[in-house]
Amino acid sequence: MEPRETFRTEFVDFALKQGVLRFGEFKTKAGRLSPYFFNAGLFNTGMALARLGEFYANAILASAVSFDVIFGPAYKGIPLVATTAVALARSGRNVPFCFNRKEAKDHGEGGVIVGAPLAGKVLILDDVISAGTSVRESVELIRAAKAEPAGVLIALDRMERGAGETSAVQEVQALYGLPVFSIATLEDILAYLSRQGGMAHELHSVREYRTRYGVFTDGSRSPPAIREFSTRPDPMSAPDGS
């Protein structure tokens, strides 16, 4: 496991090398032209998935969230929750995990939940939060089982406004009162780019996009007048939403 102060930057580097994080010009669902693209579905080899689980485990261990079970919403959350449970066990914390079926099974054990029972405090694992649909469905399943949603962990917080003035992560936090935290954020991507040689164009493009569409940690729509990125990787912050 990486020390707390390094895994965020190492995750950005890993995502870039795996082709999960790309720079260029990409059209988002909202119709915006984004200078970067993140597709967690491209963590599609055994090695990549195992490494991804370690990053999720590091983010969990670095957080202050209290939980009893980890839950992965179908379908993307299924491999995430399984590989994270393995990584946590290797780090000395053996936790139960489960996921849901999209359709209830009417034979055998039946039901929609596979794996450990939804009980106690349940931490939801997903790749990103866009519309918040996956989180809403997960919260409904957890509460229906008389369990308690403990928080949401995602791979990347884009820190980007939706149709309104807040990000999808902020909307989830406000709607459900849950801590939402991430392995990395757009600020970590900017910090990474600022330390790389030969990526000045990418850095400028992402900064411009952030200024135009971003939300910031102080809740404003505008960046601070002077924004410098440390030469040290950012430490894992307290749950702030994704």
pLDDT confidence of residue 169: 93
pLDDT confidence of residue 231: 34
Residues of the chain with pLDDT under 50: 1, 3-4, 218-220, 222-242
Catalytic residue annotation: 105, 107
pLDDT confidence of residue 30: 81
The secondary structure of the chain, three-state, reads CCCCCCHHHHHHHHHHHCCCEEEEEEECCCCCEEEEEECHHHCCCHHHHHHHHHHHHHHHHHCCCCCCEEEECCCCHHHHHHHHHHHHHHCCCCCCEEEEEEEEECCCCCEEEEECCCCCEEEEECCCCCCCHHHHHHHHHHHHCCCEEEEEEEEEECCEECCCCCEHHHHHHHHHCCCEEEEEEHHHHHHHHHCCCCCHHHHHHHHHHHHHHECCCCCCCCCCCCCCCCCCCCCCCCCCCC
pLDDT confidence of residue 106: 56
pLDDT confidence of residue 235: 35
Predicted TM-score of the model (pTM): 0.86
Summarize pLDDT for 75-131 with one digit per residue, the tens: 999 999 999 999 999 999 999 999 998 776 555 555 799 999 999 999 999 999 987
CATH architecture assigned to 7-213: 3-Layer(aba) Sandwich (3.40)
